[in-house]
Structure 1
């Protein structure tokens, strides 16, 4: 049986109007200087010579007309403001497009599997962006997981049309908020045939640059602060949850100083805040930790899988439940900040789940 999977790792090319470009290795060099404060160590980590590293920095500075690195004798090296902005631009591109690249990778591997004899069964999973669900294709041995990132409405719509086998859905552990979230999807869930599979819980809250804005200790503090906010896209489950939290506390959404831009993943929101382009974002703790941000928890939610029994074979369901309970997967979930296994593999319904949180 063919078990090898291909990965797509794009290299972002930054090119000027005159055709001058920054080699992709330059960004690994800048990252190394930021982390170590030494050009020699950064060059070694990037796998290039000190001379090559020096030439890359000089050439990059010459292209724009500003230095990328500040070097002081006896004090090591640090990124200049331009070097910081270039590196953060690359991080934001990666955070914004990474999930789309992951979806393309899943599609490619699915197509390869279909061309091979004796292939593993494929499970088509449409899911909201999350750090635990991203582990499923990596850990699965008995299944080929074709993971496509979609917002909840898109995922459930695809499930109802038979375009995927499993979708994801997330509900707050607060029963009142859970019922309000469900009300947004009544048209898609009205026939009562959907079943839930418990997977993980995750913590969501405000993300702020470390040590800044200590006056923000609650959602009310933030709403009154005037700090710049970067939001998720309008149809994401996280955006719906944030709006409901404002409503629950009697806060006006218009009081939030929104940037006017929306991001489509937790990672992209965190990168936007970490780069200084916004002061506050809302998302999962794992994204905040990934970019070294402070995290103020505001909610906990069940991240669930949802299916229609008439569209999923018992064999595929059994393989999936076995995967969700696999020791390797549970161990990796335990290492993701803010995530915890949530009776994985247990099949339930919406009413039963909400009642269990009473």
Structure 2
């Protein structure tokens, strides 16, 4: 079975929406002209090029395409004729879908050529408020943004908090989203994980939201799980988040604060990629509890037991603050329309939304002026310590 690859071109000219294959064009020209030389002239190509391409395609497809003998018209083999038939059949059947695909591509590219449109690429830890913000920017930017700001499109790629900041440092995005538990001080896992990734002279922290993390449990909480100690004591099946996620870092911090080890938590190695995935695992009976946000629990029909509050931060390069897209985003985050929306999400409230903040004030463990002599490492859960040890300081 030979697989197909689709390609398209950009042009100022208006032309029919057709998917063309150069082999089909060669076969059509040779068949209609009755010779390779005539087909070459019709296509504006050299005889040598057309002959070479036909031989290449025959080798690629493992079948002869054209039969030509001296003094006779060249004609297609049965296989070549069937290729032509397959092309006509596909074009006839798929032309509406091809036209729709072309129109959608043109609409997308129209944004790229529109100077009034700004696209901000954001890698971020999974967050319901960011999903809501993306829709709000698309649907309500004409109400929330001043006319000179233009229209804003958020290109959000959800990944772990650690991977999000790495993506920012590697130039794969212009902004990253990560979250940290409130009250975490120095010599903690949070500091060990995030501090090597954040650069005080280059990065700027932007306020976004405060949210609550807690246990997502089945309706009625039949196991009476109100803390991580309860999960351990009752040997309740737990669903964890993947390595590199901010919620996994938060879980390990909470375990350390409670004097518990990861090995004591049944299901610590059972991982899911998002809050929603953890919630669905609980709802499906695959586990009894998992750490996540209230919005995900509510969407899955679960109960939610609050455990800790955290700040969700946005971070960008200092130089990016002058970019029109970032400026438009910061403005949008401060509008009454958005502040009203975020406060309606279960477990969320706006926190310095859109305000550029001091790293030292926002992150209690941050002090780039402190003694750089390595301090003794805190007691850290194995998986998150592995994540720290494998990180590359940018």
Question: Would you say same fold, with TM above 0.5?
Answer: yes
> Could you tell me which residue of structure 2 aligns to residue 306 of structure 1?
315
* Cα distance change, pair 117–316 in 1 and its aligned pair in 2 (3 A): closer
> Could you tell me which residue of structure 2 aligns to residue 276 of structure 1?
285
- Structure number with greater Rg is 2
| TM-score (norm. length: structure 2) | 0.59
Unaligned stretches of 5+ residues in structure 2: 1-104, 142-150, 366-394
- Return the offset for 1:260: 4.3
Task: Report matched runs for 1:1-358 at 5 Å.
Answer: 111-140=108-137, 141=141, 142-176=151-185, 180-190=189-199, 192-258=201-267, 260-354=269-363
* Cα distance change, pair 304–191 in 1 and its aligned pair in 2 (3 A): closer
Unaligned stretches of 5+ residues in structure 1: 1-107
> Any conservation in 2 of the 1:230–1:280 contact (CA below 8 Å)?
yes
Aligned length: 249
- Return the offset for 1:308: 0.8
Secondary structure in structure 2 of the residue aligned to 1:143 = strand
- Return the offset for 1:118: 3.8
Q: Which moved more, 1:278-287 or 1:344-353?
A: 344-353
Whole-Å separation in 2 of the counterparts to 1:177 and 1:202 = 22
> Any conservation in 2 of the 1:211–1:294 contact (CA below 8 Å)?
yes
Secondary structure in structure 2 of the residue aligned to 1:169 = strand
Whole-Å separation in 2 of the counterparts to 1:130 and 1:244 = 20
Whole-Å separation in 2 of the counterparts to 1:254 and 1:164 = 36
1:194-219 C-alpha deviation (Å, 9 max, x unpaired):
11110111100111101133532222
Whole-Å separation in 1 of the counterparts to 2:253 and 2:111 = 43
- Return the offset for 1:292: 1.9
Q: Which moved more, 1:174-183 or 1:310-319?
A: 174-183
Task: Name the structure with the higher strand share.
Answer: 1
Whole-Å separation in 2 of the counterparts to 1:118 and 1:345 = 23
* Cα distance change, pair 116–220 in 1 and its aligned pair in 2 (3 A): same
> Any conservation in 1 of the 2:204–2:357 contact (CA below 8 Å)?
yes
Q: Which moved more, 1:147-156 or 1:262-271?
A: 147-156
> Any conservation in 2 of the 1:162–1:311 contact (CA below 8 Å)?
no
1:138-157 C-alpha deviation (Å, 9 max, x unpaired):
11223111111121222111
Whole-Å separation in 1 of the counterparts to 2:107 and 2:199 = 32
Whole-Å separation in 2 of the counterparts to 1:179 and 1:113 = 48
1:150-202 C-alpha deviation (Å, 9 max, x unpaired):
21222111211222111112121123389531320232224542111101111
